[in-house]
Chain A
Amino acid sequence: MAKKKDSEKHEDGQRGGKYNKDDADANELENFVDDITDEELLGDVLQKRPKVSDGVDTVIIVDGVPQVNPERFDKLKVVITKIFAQFGKILNDYYPKSENGHTKGYIFIEYEKHESALEAVTQANNYKLDKQHTFLINLFSDYKKYNDIPEKWEAPTLQPFPERPNLQYFLSEPDAFDQYYVYNVNSHIEVWLNSNPQPTKLVEREKWTESLIMWSPLGTYLATLHKQGVVLWGGPNFTNVLKLSHRNVQFVDFSPCEQYLVAYAPLDNDEQKLTIFDIRTGAEKRSFISDAPMAGNVLRWSKDDKYFARIGHNTLSVYETPSFGLLDKKSITVNGIRDFSWSPRDNVLAYWVAEDKDVPARVVLLEIPSRKEIRANNLFNVADCKIHWQKAGDYLCVKVDRYAKIKREKGDVKYSGMYFNFEIFHMREKNIPVDSVEIKEPIHAFAWEPIGSKFAIIHGEPSNNSVSFYNVKSGQAPVLLKKLDKHFCSHLFWSPAGQYIVIAEIRDSGALEFVDTADFTTMCSTEHYKATDIEWDPTGRFVATGVSSWKTKGDTGYWIWSFQGRILNRFNTNTYCHMQWRPRPPTLLSAKQQKDTKKSLKKYTSQFETKDKMRMTKASKEVIDKRRKLIKEFEEYRSKRLEDWNKQKAERMAIRSHIDTDELDSDDKNVQVEKVEFLVKEEVTVID
């Protein structure tokens, strides 16, 4: 800008022609009008010029402070300092006083850092000192802002409504086919529809994500992670629905009702920053800095998105939405808390506390928001606990690893004589009775039936595992239903609809066993060699097994099976890494409607069978058409080549002594028929 003005002026000067040529600079100055602002010339320097606000942004004004007489002033000062020193180092404070020495009810506090001032404003605003006094805190620099509010109110301009695609479209699929994504090497992502008889590819995109890709828990969104943040995709064409900025995001977690999203990003100093976003507006709701390791969810949500909680040092902090403040402004102090888990059905959480000398370990059920301990269970000789909620929230199982002996060596704790207890809490009964199942052998897996009241355990010495199924009934101890002995297995995969289970060995052999737990018949015993992952579709109709190229080399790909273990499709691609079925929201049908549907299943099956048959005929017709085309093309080529071959016959005969060898029996003159006799059997019969 400045340069351009210069050249213009130069021309002006020449036209004027009144100046001395020896001193061009001076002449230029003659009709020079200083119309260049300082900003144009020194813009970059001026930005650094001191401002009125400098040094004030560390100052806060606290209103609502008690007005006290000089005698009590020192006491007040002690209280105030104690409250505000927790946000950072206080450099100065100023208590304005009236003539008689009484404080005026407001004070100024200057912090060392702007961040401390901000923290004080967000944390201590509305702080209740006592019944009469509530602090109202503002940044000093904000006062100017509030002063500048224009007298006349201007109506905000109407923002155009951004049309969102129909995010639920996938549920209106007429044949209720499910979708899944396939993650290939180099972030090559495909989304497939598991149609019958062959899945159809819906979308295929290169480099769709920079690290992770995942469905939201109700299947509405597909989330991809990038350097700058998270992108949510949805609708029939997987259009970009929302972008959330969170640098270096490594992991995301949705709240169960998909209202909020938590993004996790590592910071330089081994800490991680988590930010909660509102998915509908994209607004940042709250962020935390956590020093917990990057694995797993630090924040855990209650089933209705109303609360979320995290473990601190000897504390459990429960926050409420939509205010995102601490519930009752206080964390719950729990000394030695190790882990917790929300009930999937109620606003109840279960946590456990480690043993400490003579104080036993405890498993506690806590009702939120009342903070009432609705059940506590004391346990001795506890090495570890795992909390397993049944999906319906009717039962809670706590797997307790117990020891017979403990040895402490240089800070290391060694347990021996391990045995295992499964503490079953009957959540729906009065006083929540607890039953216990004890197993002496090592436990490899535990899983609740998602719908129903059974649970399965893999236990035993590594080479000789057994699978035990128990049933839980109200008012009764768990009953052992069935023990399947000598099974080579490592993992349990229940159908999301219950009843069916896949018992699998997914570390080495990839052995799969499809079991119907209604009568414990093995429907199919098969294998997907080296399988690393097993995923049920959300309806419990299909099972996908995969061999991921992240975990092994060679034979990668994924196979889709029916729930009975019949192989439907094999996709052997050497780029396959991961697949995930698109989840579905819970059904909207009432229990009665579901029951009625099940009753009249016979009526519907014929309908579906016809439909399937039609699709099969259509598919086989397509295959046949394709084959006919192939045959036609190949026959054309082959007959052309045969023609060449026939033309060469003379030449061929010439070099093979004029003997026709084109057919096995075409040369009958030189054939010697040889008789071959086989000795079939030799029998010696002794004749008397």
Chain B
Amino acid sequence: MKPLMLQGHERAITQIKYNREGDLLFSSAKDVTPNVWYSLNGERLGTYNGHTGAVWCIDVDWKTTKFLSGAADNTLRLWDVATGVEIGNISSNSAVRTCSFSYSADLASYSTDQAMKQDCEIFIVDARNDESFKSSAPILRMTVPDSKVTSLIWGTLDHTIITGHEDGAITQWDLRTGKSIESVKDHQGSINDMQKNRQGTMFVTASKDKTSKLFDVDDLSVHKVYVTERPVNSASLSPKYDHVVLGGGQDAMDVTTTAAQAGKFDARFFHVIFEEEFARVKGHFGPINSLAFHPDGESFSTGGEDGFIRVQSFDPTYKEFRFDY
């Protein structure tokens, strides 16, 4: 089926996310305005105006009432989804790289970049309402001195968070003690993305070391490995089938010198259990920076360095496809 092309950003897409029901698709790019779209027809519903730097990360709560965005203008902003009004703004000492609502969405966490004389830090804030959000003191503040956080998700319920780091390490933090419980290093390169499965028992990583791995949320054990020839920027698990989709490609700075074919900008589908690739979807002219499955598993979206978002519904052949076993 012909994909929907969402053209609203002026720069490379940094992150895309569906809300829980999947009727809306949120997107951010290296321009200053996050967008929200109807996922069904690709119509733009609105924008969130206010940032003054590239927006690195976004998240939406489970009720689709609050929207979070972190940017290179050293702010984390909270928005009202429906009206697009900014209801909270937290300043930090460096760019906000990751942000995420907890399961209850009462809490939110975000991390900041390493910068001059400034260590990478992880913050937990109260995101219940604008009052609590604005109160300057975070609930928890953890310093990460060695390797900066490049991706962040919440663990089971609201007890833990899991961070992926630039050196390939993955760390689990206990929010009651503010200490790391566990740290594993199964990747050789920066963890660009982590996404949980529907139940939140497992998550899939996307790493610069050209692989993607399936981890257990609780003990961080590796269960599956998906190997490609290019850095992986994003990976998402299908809520419906045992499929995982990987997106990435040649580093953005090398792209101009190589042909699109060689960059391998396809979205690549692997079987979760067999670790075998079975399909590719072409489309972007640059690396895929972020991708997501629709919560109903009937379509998926990709956001690329080329500034486009492509919403691709699956053909019947995809649904009929079965591995022999």
Contacts and interface: CB of A to CB of B under 8 A. Distances in A.
Interface of A: 509, 527, 529-530, 554-555, 572, 620, 623-624, 627-628, 630-631, 634, 637-638, 641-642, 644-645, 648, 651-652, 655-656, 661-662, 664, 674, 676, 678
Given A529-B262, A630-B273, A652 B157 contact: yes
A265 B288 CA distance: 52
Q: Which 3 A-B pairs have the closest CB atoms?
A: A655-B104, A627-B325, A641-B201
Contacts of A624: 324-325
Contact of B103 (A555, A620, A652, A676): A652
A197 to B, nearest CB: 15
Interface residues of B, number: 34
Contacts of B295: 664
A644 B201 contact: yes
Contacts of B224: 634
B324 A655 contact: no
Contacts of B273: 627, 630-631, 634
Given A651-B157, A656-B103, A572 B325 contact: no
Nearest to A509: B259
Given A634-B273, A652-B157, A655-B158, A628 B62 contact: no
B20 interface: yes
A676 to B, nearest CB: 6
Contacts of A648: 156-157
A641 B20 CA distance: 22
Contacts, number: 67
B229 A642 contact: no
Interface string B247-289: 0000000000001011000000000111000000000000000
B306 interface: no
Given A529-B262, A676-B41, A678-B41, A555 B157 contact: no
Contacts of A664: 20-22, 295-296
A628 B41 contact: no
Interface of B is mostly: loop
Given A530-B262, A624-B324, A664-B21, A645 B229 contact: no
Interface in B307-325: 323-325
A509 B157 CA distance: 51
Interface of B: 20-23, 38, 40-41, 62, 103-104, 106, 156-158, 199-202, 216, 218, 223-224, 229, 259, 261-262, 272-274, 295-296, 323-325
Given A555-B262, A627-B273, 11 more contacts: A529-B261, A627-B323, A628-B325, A634-B272, A641-B216, A644-B201, A645-B199, A645-B200, A656-B103, A661-B20, A664-B20
A227 to B, nearest CB: 35
Contacts of B262: 529-530, 555
B157 A620 contact: no
A641 B202 contact: yes
Nearest to B217: A641
Given A572-B229, A661-B62, A676 B40 contact: yes
B244 to A, nearest CB: 13
Contacts of A662: 199
A48 B106 CA distance: 96
Contact of B223 (A554, A634, A642, A652): A634
Contacts of B103: 652, 655-656
Contacts of A651: 157
Given A641-B216, A648-B156, A655 B325 contact: no
A656 B104 contact: yes
Contact of B324 (A527, A620, A644, A678): A620
Contacts of B104: 655-656
Contacts of B62: 656, 661
Nearest to A630: B273
13 contacts: A620-B324, A624-B324, A627-B273, A631-B273, A637-B223, A641-B201, A652-B157, A655-B104, A656-B104, A661-B20, A664-B296, A676-B38, A678-B41
A529 to B, nearest CB: 5
Contacts of B40: 676
A402 B157 CA distance: 81
A79 B309 CA distance: 95
A509 B258 CA distance: 10
B201 to A, nearest CB: 4
Contacts of A529: 259, 261-262
B199 A642 contact: yes
A554 B296 CA distance: 37
Given A624-B324, A637-B223, A655-B104, A645 B201 contact: yes
Contacts of A642: 199, 201
B226 to A, nearest CB: 14
Nearest to B224: A634
A676 B43 CA distance: 12
Contacts of B20: 661, 664
A328 B157 CA distance: 95
A674 B39 CA distance: 14
A661 B104 CA distance: 11
Contacts of B200: 645
A245 B272 CA distance: 55
A648 B21 CA distance: 22
Of B38, B41, B157, B325, chain A has the most CB atoms within 10 Å of the CB of B325
A634 B218 CA distance: 16
Contacts of B218: 644
B42 to A, nearest CB: 11
A678 B229 CA distance: 41
A652 B198 CA distance: 14
A340 B104 CA distance: 84
Contacts of A678: 41
A637 B202 CA distance: 11
Nearest to A654: B104
A648 B200 CA distance: 11
B161 to A, nearest CB: 15
A630 B106 contact: no
